[in-house]
């Protein structure tokens, strides 16, 4: 990674602040927002690697601040699936064209959005048990390729009969696992890792402070309002990947 101008540093910090705020409020979106905007400031591979490094630290803080709502039984099968999906995703990203991967991701997100609003009057569903391993695996695949493992998890978790804080805690636990596991594959990207680790270290403190603020504001937003907003957001970002990427 070439030396970044100070203006670009400021833009990157702003991008991470917006991403962290969305993560705190909704329980996800750090990777989605950041990967939508970071390639406008830096190279795609640098953006993926930088986000992977920072994401691991940010999600540890997210889980810590929401630990009182975490239950291992809620997250167990999703975490197992995520660990399976990470190496599969790393291989797929190396084997398939980037455009094909974004089309698949976008189409999935739009379908998730449409499905939610078509069935919005139905009661929340109970957990899927061991079948949730497949949801976790899909998340791991997306996390390995784009640092965006959220969509499958969000669609599953936000349609369960769980309280909002419980849903956010489960999401954070899965993101911790995929975030840390993703670091093992950074050496395959061919980027300048020392420079990216330095940049991530500088960005970490302000980013987690904004994350904490987002979590506090998220507690004040009624769950009845947040669920539709979450799925609408997924649909809009999915359209972006389909049309503009």
Identify whether 187 is part of a domain: yes
Identify whether 89 is part of a domain: yes
Q: Do 78 and 128 meet the contact criterion of CB atoms below 8 Å apart?
A: no
pLDDT of residue 126: 56
Identify whether 1 is part of a domain: no
Identify whether 193 is part of a domain: yes
pLDDT of residue 120: 60
Nearest to 29 by CA among 220, 243, 232: 232
Identify whether 22 is part of a domain: yes
Going by the DSSP 8-state scheme, the letter that residue 3 receives in this structure is P
- The count of structural domains within the chain is 1
Q: Which residues make beta-bridge pairs with 125?
A: 160
Q: Distance (Å, rounded) from C-alpha 132 to C-alpha 74?
A: 10
Q: pLDDT category, 244, cuts 50, 70, 90? A: low
Identify whether 176 is part of a domain: yes
Top-confidence residue, 99 or 42: 42
Identify whether 107 is part of a domain: yes
Full 3-state SS string of 39-103: HHCCCHHHHHHHHHHHHHHHHHHHHHHCHHHCCHHHHHHHHHHHHHHHHHHHHHHHHCCHHHHHH
Q: pLDDT category, 82, cuts 50, 70, 90? A: confident
pLDDT tens digits, residue range 118-139? 766 555 555 566 778 888 888 8
Residue 132 CA, chain-centre distance (Å), reads 17
Torsion of CA 194, 200, 180, 102, to 10 degrees: -100
Q: Distance (Å, rounded) from C-alpha 170 to C-alpha 53?
A: 21
How confident is the prediction for the chain on average, in pLDDT? 80
Determine the average pLDDT of the residues in 180-207. Answer: 80
pTM above 0.85, yes or no: no
pLDDT of residue 245: 63
Which contacts (CB < 8 Å, 24+ apart) does range 184-189 have? 185/86, 185/90, 185/144, 186/49, 186/52, 186/53, 188/90, 188/94, 189/45, 189/48, 189/49
Domain extent at residue 79: 6-243
pLDDT of residue 185: 72
pLDDT of 146 > 70? The answer is: no
């Amino acid at each position: 990674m070439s030396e970044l101008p100070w203006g670009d540093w400021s833009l990157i910090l702003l991008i991470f602040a917006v991403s962290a705020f969305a993560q705190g409020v909704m329980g996800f979106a750090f990777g989605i927002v950041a990967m939508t905007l970071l390639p406008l400031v830096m190279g795609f591979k640098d953006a993926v690697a930088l986000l992977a490094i920072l994401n691991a630290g940010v999600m540890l803080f997210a889980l810590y601040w929401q630990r009182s709502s975490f239950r291992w039984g809620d997250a167990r099968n999703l975490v197992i699936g995520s660990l399976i999906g990470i190496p599969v995703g790393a291989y797929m990203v190396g084997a398939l064209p980037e455009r094909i991967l974004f089309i698949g991701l976008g189409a999935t997100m739009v379908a998730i959005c449409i499905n939610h609003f078509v069935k919005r009057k139905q009661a929340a569903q109970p957990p899927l048990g061991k079948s949730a391993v497949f949801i976790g695996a899909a998340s791991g695949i997306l996390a390995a390729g784009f640092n965006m493992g959220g969509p499958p998890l969000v669609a599953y978790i936000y349609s369960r009969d769980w309280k909002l804080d419980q849903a956010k805690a489960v999401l954070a636990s899965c993101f911790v696992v995929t975030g840390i596991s993703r670091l093992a594959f950074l050496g395959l990207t061919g980027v300048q890792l020392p420079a990216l680790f330095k940049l991530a270290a500088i960005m970490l403190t302000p980013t987690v402070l904004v994350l904490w603020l987002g979590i506090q504001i998220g507690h004040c937003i009624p769950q009845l309002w947040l669920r539709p907003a979450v799925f609408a957001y997924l649909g809009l970002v999915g359209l972006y990947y389909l049309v503009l990427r």
